[in-house]
Amino acid sequence: MIKKVRIFRWENGMKTLDDYVCIEERFEIYIVHDNFEEFLAELPASPSQLRELGAGFVVCEGYEKAEKIIDSWVEGQRIYVKVRDTNIGSLRNEVTIRHTPCGDSYKARKGEVIGGKAGDIKVSPEFILRISSSMTQLAETWRKTGGTHWAALFDREGNVLGFSEDIGRHNAVDKVVGYAVLNGLNLSELILASSGRMPHGMVRKIVNAGIPIVITKSPPTDKGVELARMHNITLIGFARGKRFNIYSGEHRLLNQART
């Protein structure tokens, strides 16, 4: 995921030193049913957890539900995701150039908001603060480069069940969801922590994965809040220090003393 490069640094004078930067590559994702395959997207991504990226992308973008995923494999720069009992011929949306809110471009067919059934687990404010304080401790590549986003899945006891880093926040979520899908974890009973903002496209991934609670140090957008409220997702932002904001789904918090 990282590469050592020789750089110049100005700090009260010029000096040379080695630094680490993230590796960026492009991968194509295909959905496979029987002997038929369909191109879904070409994405820039970090070259790690590629099986997970493919499986998570299919689920999070609304092409198929998690229970339909059979397997995922990689051949060169292509990622294949095999699914069962799918109407693959219904993928009639044209491939277009799309852009993330950060302006990054990628080729993809338009996905859907199909929605998973999020569980009604409840957590305490102390639990949320504990997760928020542990977020950056897991991000080894981020600590070396400052160039990745990350996402993690926790159970209701606060155990880390999956963790992913990538140059893109969307990919990091896809990867950790894909890890859960390929390992048979029940996403409706898990909590997602993410380093990124939560605009509509990110919240759509949470909705399609069926994850009930998402915690991030960053803010959502208005469209992200609207979608979270529409689908009963607990959306928590600005989780820093001893505070956090709840934008949606406050009913999942225990001990809701208000002032």
Tell me how far CA of residue 135 lies from CA of 39, 131, 191, 198, in angstroms: 34, 6, 13, 16
46-79 per-position pLDDT tens digit: 999 999 999 999 999 999 999 999 999 999 999 9
Please identify which of the residues 7, 70, 95, 102 carries the catalytic annotation. 102
Q: What is the CATH architecture of 25-108? A: Roll (3.10)
pTM above 0.85, yes or no: yes
| Annotated domain spans of the chain | 25-108, 125-252
Which helix (H) or strand (E) segment holds residue 182: the answer is helix 169-182
Most confident listed range (27-36, 61-70, 173-182, 234-243)? 173-182
Does residue 140 surpass a pLDDT of 60?
A: yes
222-243 per-position pLDDT tens digit: 999 999 999 999 999 999 989 9
Show the 3-state SS of 163-175. EEEECCHHHHHHH
Top CATH class of 125-252 equals: alpha beta
Q: Is 102 a catalytic residue?
A: yes
